[in-house]
Amino acid sequence: MLKISILIGLILMTSSCVKNFDDNKQPKKFTNTEIEHKTSFSDFYAMLKAYWNDKRTLATPSFDIPVQPLTAAQLAQDKFDAVYRLGHSTILLRIDHEFILIDPVFSDRASPVQWFGPKRFHQAPISIADLPNIKAVIISHDHYDHLDKDAIKLLDQKVEYFITPLKVGQHLRDWGIDDAKITELAWWQTTEIDTLKFTATPAQHFSGRGLFDKDETLWASWVIEGWESKIYFSGDSGYFGGFKEIGERLGPFDLTLIETGAYNELWPDIHMFPEQSLQAHIDLKGLAMMPIHNGTFDLSLHNWYEPFERITQLAADSYVTLLTPQFGEAVNIQVPKLLQKVPVTVNWWQETGQIEK
């Protein structure tokens, strides 16, 4: 059953202040700046074969992943600029005393249906019902592990604004979100909300939620800036020259949230290997790096903990400040800047001694 779920998910994966842009002025299909992502029949067959012959020893955790529960009272009490990793690429930020939620996925499965597909390794540290009011929700692209229909509908009453790449906003309108709350941006465009500034920046990926809508919506990375803190969120991306351009135009960054997981030699153009994730952080001129897109769903052919192991060693070798908090743990964004170092982050995925070294 697990392999069937993965194969169906693979089919979906490989198938093909600016406001409400005029559809007549937008392209029918969006493209990357450096590569055109295509999947041939031979590529698809190689993926199916690789998944069917999967011999991993720990595709999913053999123990309960530690999660630090979050409460609304705790979030209200803390005042510093902070990042809370809720799972996979779902991030809660507090900047300038406002809460920002990125790629909110709270469903049990990253799938169009909830009876099969990649299943969560752990529950979110906080439920949607317990979240505080959210100034803005940011979406990177429309894949199921980043855009959760049920979560968006439940969040509607708590959220003032939804900010998306071009045409992703139409999904939200179809789900009942008021058009007046939705802002759509092209790459390098910016919108401001009070003291917060949001800029859509390039990424190297693709989009689509079905068999026939490939690349009809834009994908993006994001720069989020407040009074003191500047954050970069990669979304999903292969390694490309855009990271260096973003760093030169908008960096440096107090913290980079970089995709580090779901990589494989069968799709090297659209997801980064850990070595590339680290280089992207360096290109971006980041002060500290937090690896994301890992630890919650099984979306590739590496053991679940491998991205943490590899990026930890790579960061140490390159003297890069790496943050690997437990899910739900508060991370003060300003600590690396103020102290020029951060406390040693516990390698929580090693705590039971059950993983293979």
The whole-number pLDDT of residue 211 equals 87
Report field, pTM of the whole predicted structure over 0.75: yes
In a domain, 49, yes or no: yes
In a domain, 24, yes or no: no
The whole-number pLDDT of residue 295 equals 97
Contact 233, 255 (CB under 8 A): no
In a domain, 242, yes or no: yes
Output the domain CATH number for residue 319. Answer: 3.60.15.10
Residue-range definition of the domain harbouring residue 84: 2-17+40-350
In a domain, 27, yes or no: no
Phi and psi, residue 38, nearest 5°: -130, 155
The whole-number pLDDT of residue 277 equals 98
The whole-number pLDDT of residue 12 equals 44
In a domain, 29, yes or no: no
Number of domains in the chain: 1
Q: Where are the alpha helices (DSSP H) in the chain?
A: 2-14, 41-52, 72-77, 149-155, 169-174, 242-250, 274-283, 306-317, 335-339
In a domain, 32, yes or no: no
Per run of 10 residues, the mean pLDDT along the chain (length 357 residues) is: 46 42 71 82 67 83 94 91 98 98 98 92 98 98 98 98 98 98 98 98 97 95 98 98 98 97 95 98 97 97 96 95 95 81 76 60
CB atoms within 10 A of CB 149: 15
Neighbour order of strands in the sheet with 230-233:
190-193, 196-201, 221-225, 230-233, 253-259, 286-292, 321-322
Cis ω on the peptide bond leading into residue 252 (within 30° of 0)?
yes
In a domain, 69, yes or no: yes
The whole-number pLDDT of residue 197 equals 98
In a domain, 34, yes or no: no
The whole-number pLDDT of residue 243 equals 98
